[in-house]
């Protein structure tokens, strides 16, 4: 089945540790995105990538880093510099060749840092 997978579903870390969230898609989409969602809030864009080996900062990139070495994969690292990392993280991808640029979302990773 085609889709987007994120792992793990739940992640617990101690403050001061870096942690990497996985995002993989087999939809052959060029563009991939990372969002953060806090309770009762909308989505805020962290980073996005339109093509392999290229990515851009979103609205809240500080304390995060990404890589895009393969078309299928767009891992997000939450560094110790991120002041308040506990949140729900959603990865998405889209087909920029299509007319709608519709984004498809993965199931999300809930990160808790104590």
Partner 1 sequence: ELKVEQNPLFLSMQEGKNYTIYCNYSTTSDRLYWYRQDPGKSLESLFVLLSNGAVKQEGRLMASLDTKARLSTLHITAAVHDLSATYFCALNRDDKIIFGKGTRLHILP
Q: Which of 1, 2, 15, 40 binds partner 1 (CB under 8 A)?
A: 40
Residue 37 to residue 52: CA distance in whole angstroms? 25
Question: Pick from 80, 92, 79: which is nearest to 37 by CA?
Answer: 92
Question: Pick from 66, 88, 64: which is nearest to 78 by CA?
Answer: 64
Nearer to partner 1, 51 or 81 (CB): 51
What residues does 4 pair with on adjacent strands?
Answer: 25
85 makes contact with partner 1 (CB under 8 A): no
57 makes contact with partner 1 (CB under 8 A): no
Residue in the block written with tokens 């851009």: 56
26 makes contact with partner 1 (CB under 8 A): no
Please report how close the Cβ of residue 50 comes to partner 1 at its closest, in angstroms. Answer: 6
Residue 4: helix, strand or coil by DSSP?
strand
Q: Which residues bind partner 1 (CB under 8 A)?
A: 31, 33, 40-43, 45, 48, 50, 56, 58, 90, 92, 96, 99-108, 110
């Amino acid at each position: 089945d085609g889709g987007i997978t994120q792992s793990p579903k739940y992640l617990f870390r101690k403050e001061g540790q870096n942690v990497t969230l996985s995002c993989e898609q087999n939809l052959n989409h060029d563009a991939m995105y990372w969002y953060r969602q806090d309770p009762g809030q909308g989505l805020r864009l962290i980073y996005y990538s339109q093509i392999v080996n290229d990515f851009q900062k979103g609205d809240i990139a500080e304390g995060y880093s990404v890589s895009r070495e393969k078309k299928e994969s767009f891992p997000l690292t939450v560094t110790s510099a991120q002041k308040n990392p506990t949140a729900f993280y959603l990865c998405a991808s889209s087909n920029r060749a299509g007319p709608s640029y519709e984004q498809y979302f993965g199931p999300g990773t809930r990160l808790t840092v104590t």
